[in-house]
Chain A
Amino acid sequence: MASTINTSKSDPKSDRNIGPGGKWLAGALYILTFISVLGFIWQSIASSILP
């Protein structure tokens, strides 16, 4: 089963390796990817649905 449903749980094994810098880096990468995806969907809406 896709692990997308487990995002709220943190892996205790991986938590040991995370410093504050690692969390910031991971958070920044997540936000940048999220913005890119939203940008793509916005591009699609702008090109097709909006007149």
Chain B
Amino acid sequence: MSFTWYCLGLLTTGSSIFLCHFSKRYQLNWLSWSGLTLGMVLILFSIAWSMGSVLEGVPRAASMGLLLFGLSGILFLTLAFRYTLTKRPKMLQLEAETALPKSVGTHITPPKKEPAKASFVGRYISVGIRYGAYISLILALGVGLASEDKNYESMVRSKFKDHKLAKVNDDPVVFQLGEKGEGPGNYVLIQEGQGYGGPFVLGIRIMEDGKIHEIIPLDHKETPAFVKKIEDARYRDQFIGNNVSNDIIVGMDINAVSGATITTMAAAEAIRNGAHLAAVEKFKLDPKWEKVPWKFGIDEILILAIFVLAFISKIYKEKPWKYIYMAATIAIVGFYLNAAISVGNIAGLAMGYIPGIKNHLIWWVLVVGTVLGIVILGKNVYCYRVCPFYGIEYLLQKISGMKLNPSRTVLKQARSFINFLLWLSLMVIFLSKHPALGSYEPFAMMFSLNGTGIQWFILPMALIGSFFMSTFWCRFFCPCGLALTKMIQFRKSALNLFKPKK
């Protein structure tokens, strides 16, 4: 902690010295002074806040501090600098002095080097690495799909350690808890659902009275933050006490959890299917329950409209439509529905994790629509159009007016690094069969403030980076954008194969 204060002291002193020098160079008025001071104080405060939060083990608070105070500090500082540099006159006596370092600066700038041509061996190594990466991904996908690790018995046993467990049915899988014939029937029926991240397993505890007594989450591949949100909303409690023959329809009998709609709908579907199976097979009831209607409301209409408009170039290129469309994507796809596509969605498609179209039309429009757009038309209509995070980046860029770029060396390496990050994230997803584990995009954090651990540091870094650099996240880090770009390249290569050679 004392080291933190030492660093802060150094930073405060450095900032004050810089401010003194700056004020000697420009005729600062009250507006410049207030903007610069406020900006610096906010940035220093955000550093103190974040370091304190990290030391206390609360990364979420650290991230929030960095975002709220750091980003607004940078904003004040940038606006104050822009105002001072363009509107305030320079001090006359210092103008002559500034001329010398400028000429020296141009003198010492190293001459631009011609990019070295890759050697013959180097080219082979790079091709080898590329194909090695593709082969390893295919192998990881195969290994992941081949390793079935659904041991329902051990899942249920881990939840009921003190009970005797006996499997009484195979399809659907049903376990009986306790001794047979002892007291009222006590059954756990296993059902699977298709969530946002992939399949999840639920245990539905049904007793002889034909009522649901407990919903037991046994296994899932959802983003941990979403699961926490559902648990905090006590979503499972809504099912308890329901008769197995009830309709159990979300929107009518059950309330969905806002911001985690797909997961809650999928869970309800699994529970409903399980309860109705028990009603028919165990309790010999006639299936009189209502059929689940197609989920097609205002949300689906809005997403369909946004996706269709993405194909019209006038909408996303010409002002003022461009800004209206961008605001709509941020508000609807981002904050309202939190449905931004991640690399986990694309990897999930490869693994066959596809939720039903009846209940998850939004997912189908965005994910399947984007992939079909690439396969059929060869166009990526998602990036730079529908993606709400791009809208945020664009907005930050407009505010800052800065277009920084790292050095050429970093830029050159960045291309390999983003390929490496995509490969690493796909390997994690394929081997763990858990799309959320490899999806490092900060979209869910940005639009619903859900995140875990280190994830909380990615969002402020992405936003601050986008403030200074044009499309910082999209260019340097977005695995989803790169995956879609790779799909376009594959399509092109595949089409070239079938083109008649001249």
Residues in chain A within 8 A of chain B (CB atoms): 1-11, 13-15, 17-18, 22-23, 25-27, 29-34, 36-41, 43-45, 47-49
Contact = CB atoms under 8 A, between A and B. Distances in A.
Contacts of A43: 453-454
Given A13-B403, A17-B404, A29 B465 contact: yes
Given A2-B478, A45-B428, A36 B457 contact: yes
A45 B438 CA distance: 9
Contacts of B383: 1-2
Interface of B: 380, 383-384, 402-408, 410-412, 414-415, 417-418, 421, 424-425, 428, 431-432, 434, 437-438, 440, 453-455, 457-458, 461-462, 464-465, 468-472, 474-478, 481-482, 484-485, 488
20 contacts: A1-B485, A2-B383, A3-B471, A4-B474, A5-B482, A7-B411, A10-B405, A17-B402, A17-B403, A17-B404, A22-B468, A23-B406, A26-B410, A29-B461, A30-B410, A44-B438, A45-B428, A48-B432, A48-B434, A49-B431
Given A1-B383, A14-B470, A40 B455 contact: yes
Contact of A29 (B384, B408, B472): B472
Residue of A8, A10, A44 with most partner-chain B CB within 10 A: A44
Nearest to B374: A1
Nearest to A42: B454
Contacts of A11: 403, 405, 470
Contact of B474 (A2, A9, A27, A29): A2
Given A4-B476, A44-B438, A48-B428, 16 more contacts: A2-B474, A2-B482, A3-B471, A3-B475, A4-B418, A4-B485, A6-B475, A7-B415, A23-B406, A26-B406, A26-B410, A26-B468, A29-B468, A40-B440, A40-B455, A43-B454
Contact of A2 (B432, B465, B481): B481
A33 to B, nearest CB: 4
Contacts of B384: 2-3
A33 B477 contact: yes
A39 to B, nearest CB: 4
Given A26-B406, A48-B434, A3 B415 contact: no
B437 A4 contact: no
A36 B461 contact: yes
A37 B415 CA distance: 15
B402 A33 contact: no
Contacts of B464: 29
A2 B380 contact: yes
Contacts of B434: 48
A26 to B, nearest CB: 4
A13 B405 CA distance: 11
B192 to A, nearest CB: 19
Contacts of A5: 415, 482, 485
B465 A33 contact: yes
B414 A7 contact: yes
A38 B410 CA distance: 17
Contacts of B477: 33-34, 37
Contacts of A33: 458, 461-462, 465, 472, 476-477
A22 B462 contact: no
B404 A36 contact: no
Contacts of B406: 23, 26-27, 30
Contacts of B412: 8
Contacts of B481: 2, 4
Nearest to A15: B405
Contacts of B403: 11, 13-14, 17
Contact of B475 (A4, A23, A29): A4
B432 A26 contact: no
B125 to A, nearest CB: 18
A36 B424 CA distance: 14
A8 B411 contact: yes
Contact of B440 (A15, A27, A37): A37
A20 B481 CA distance: 30
B414 A30 contact: yes
B263 to A, nearest CB: 19
